[in-house]
Amino acid sequence: MAAVTQAYRFALDPTPSQQRTLASHAGAARFAYNWGLHLVQARLEQRRVDSTAQVPWTLPDLRREWNQAKHQVAPWWAENSKEAYSSGLDGLARALKNWSDSRSGRRKGRPVGFPRFKKKGRARDACRFTTGAIKVLPDRKHVQLPRIGVLKSHESTRKLTRRLDLGTARILAATISRQADRWFVSFTVEVQRHVSAGNGERTVVGVDVGVRHLAVLSTGVRIANPRSLECQLHKLRRLNRQLARCKPQSKRRRQTRRALARVHARTANLRRDAINKLTTALATGHGTVVVEQLNVAGMVRNRRLARVLSDAGLAELRRQLSYKTAWYGSRLVVADRFYPSSKTCSACGWVKDKLTLGERIFVCEACGHVIDRDLNAARNLAKLIDHVARSGRETVNARGVDVRPDPVGLTTSKREAGTESHRVRPAPVSA
């Protein structure tokens, strides 16, 4: 058994009074965040004149300042749970830490900017509870939160209730959030999961992800891309035009904004549903899953492909596979970013000099093998398992630019996404 932290998310059916209470707590968290950010900015300006000025940078410091000033800046603070204000200050402390770590080089990835103020109607409405009466009631239809009380859930909570009854789960926190006109509660739970050495499957599957098909497996199976955003574009265009013609602060504008938010929520739900089903099927149906390490952040900089790439959610697919393979006892192998899976012939191992995105059929000049481009890449990924070390749940084939796999004994000077003109001599074909 291993302790795993995971989340259980349920939709809520609050009464109108409870909806106002939920919105009040989310607004209190936003108010505390903006108040703390204004205080930090003022103290930073003061430090330029007086070097002894103390800037509240961590959550304990921000809480101390808030407790001293809350009676003056927010005399209505007692209407909401203290956790609402702590939630906003905690978000600010995390944002400040991310900014400072990014400047000093301790945080990887793209640079993080200084925190900005949250505006009502634009920022995400959310509030986190870490203490107090946080419960999932035994009837599997209600949940209880501090100060808000008992809320009816739109869906059954049996999956979490069963674990709580068996003593294999412990609730750490609860977060309320609003998506479109629907309220949700997410429970952060420490779960005792049985991590097996294997899932009983010995098959190896290569997965080539893309936008034409969400995934093409080395077994020949093609998973259709739901294209959730593309299917909703006509509705989004119509509602955005309608929103632009509405009078500001009017009732019709509020109705149109809610309708627009519902379309965006449905788009995200369709994408999330497809990725969850695919990753679960891969992790439970195969012993080893081989995927590519794609530079999605760099790929979306192409303005012609940015929308369809974002609609596919390729990075989310890799993220879910990383923890689901560990849950279900399978293994994830990640090919190096520069491994030429699409340019390599899956029959003889010959590496093509150049392959454009428009070429959907791979034709081998060495052995004459003709195959679909995506299926060829998936089969090459499946063969990669014979050339990597089996050292854990997730194995990275190579790290960095200077270390690249060479499974067929040929030079790998050409990158998968590159257009270098280095010629590779075809491998001899036996009669």
- Mind telling me the catalytic residues? 208, 292, 374
Burial of 102 (0-12, 13-18, 19+ CB in 10 A): middle
Q: Within 13 A of 247's CA, how many CA atoms are on the CB side?
A: 3
Residue 313 identity (one-letter amino acid)? G
Give the pair of three-digit tokens for residue 397.
Answer: 């084939």
Which tokens go with 243?
């929103």
| Secondary element (H or E) of residue 400 | none
The answer to whether the CB of 340 falls within 8 A of the CB of 309 is no
Reading the block at residue 175, the tokens are 């977060």
Is residue 174 within 8 A of residue 188, CB to CB? The reply is yes
User: Which position has the token pair 């939920």?
Assistant: 22
Residue 314's alpha-carbon distances to 255, 271, 279, 400, in angstroms, are: 33, 11, 11, 21
Query: How far is it, in rounded angstroms, from Cα 394 to Cα 138?
Result: 38
CB 240 within 8 A of CB 321: no
Taking the CB of residue 339, how many other CB atoms lie within 10 A of it?
A: 25
Please tell me what DSSP assigns to residue 425. Answer: P
CB atoms within 10 A of CB 259: 16
CA 249 to chain centre: 34
Torsion of CA 414, 420, 424, 426, to 10 degrees: 90
d(CA 2, CA 11): 28
The DSSP result for 312-341, as a single string, is: HTHHHHHHHHHHHHHHHT-EEEEE-TT--T
| Closest alpha carbon to 112 in 125, 94, 126 | 94
- DSSP strand E in 180-287: where? 182-193, 204-209, 213-217, 222-224
Of the candidates 349, 357, 355, the one whose C-alpha atom is nearest the C-alpha of residue 425 is: 349
